């Protein structure tokens, strides 16, 4: 029997300013060299068709984050730290947007 990934978090917030925050994290059936923490995740802040901040670990890329047009590796520690780092970036961006 093939085990499936388990959805641990699936949250979406539609903010008053038209921005979207979406957090999806899955526990994989087993760890891999590419995902030694055993998680697959996609964290998004932006609007439809425009990612401003993103954290993910797409196959072939490993753990990384996006900020507008930049992409850089991300040092994964724990799921809780991942979510905290993402929210910190979102808060900084909202503050920047407000001037």
The separation between CA 80 and the C-alpha centre of its own chain, rounded to angstroms, equals 12
Residues 41/54, Cβ–Cβ less than 8 Å: no
Q: Which of 14, 98, 19, 29 is nearest to 51 (CA)?
A: 19
Which alpha helices (DSSP H) does 1-99 contain, by range?
A: 79-98
pLDDT-based confidence at 1, cuts 50/70/90?
low
Percentage of the residues of the chain whose pLDDT score is greater than 70 = 98
The separation between CA 79 and the C-alpha centre of its own chain, rounded to angstroms, equals 10
Structure-token pair, residue 62: 């490993």
pLDDT in tens, 33-85: 889 999 999 999 999 999 999 999 988 899 999 999 999 999 999 999 999 99
- Going by the DSSP 8-state scheme, the letter that residue 28 receives in this structure is -
Residue 30 has a pLDDT of 92
Residue 17 has a pLDDT of 86
Residue 3 has a pLDDT of 84
Helix (H, G, I), strand (E, B) or coil at 30: coil
Residue 20 has a pLDDT of 97
Residues 82/57, Cβ–Cβ less than 8 Å: no
Nearest-5° Cα angle at 56, 54 to 58: 135
């Amino acid at each position: 029997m093939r085990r499936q990934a388990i959805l641990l978090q699936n949250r979406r917030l539609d903010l008053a300013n038209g921005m979207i925050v979406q957090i999806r994290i899955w526990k994989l059936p087993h760890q891999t060299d590419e995902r030694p923490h055993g998680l697959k995740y996609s964290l998004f802040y932006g609007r439809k068709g425009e990612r401003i901040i993103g954290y993910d670990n797409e196959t072939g890329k490993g753990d990384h984050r996006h900020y507008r047009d930049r992409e850089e590796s991300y040092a994964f520690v724990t799921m809780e730290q991942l979510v905290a780092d993402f929210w910190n970036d979102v808060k900084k961006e909202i503050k920047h947007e407000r001037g």
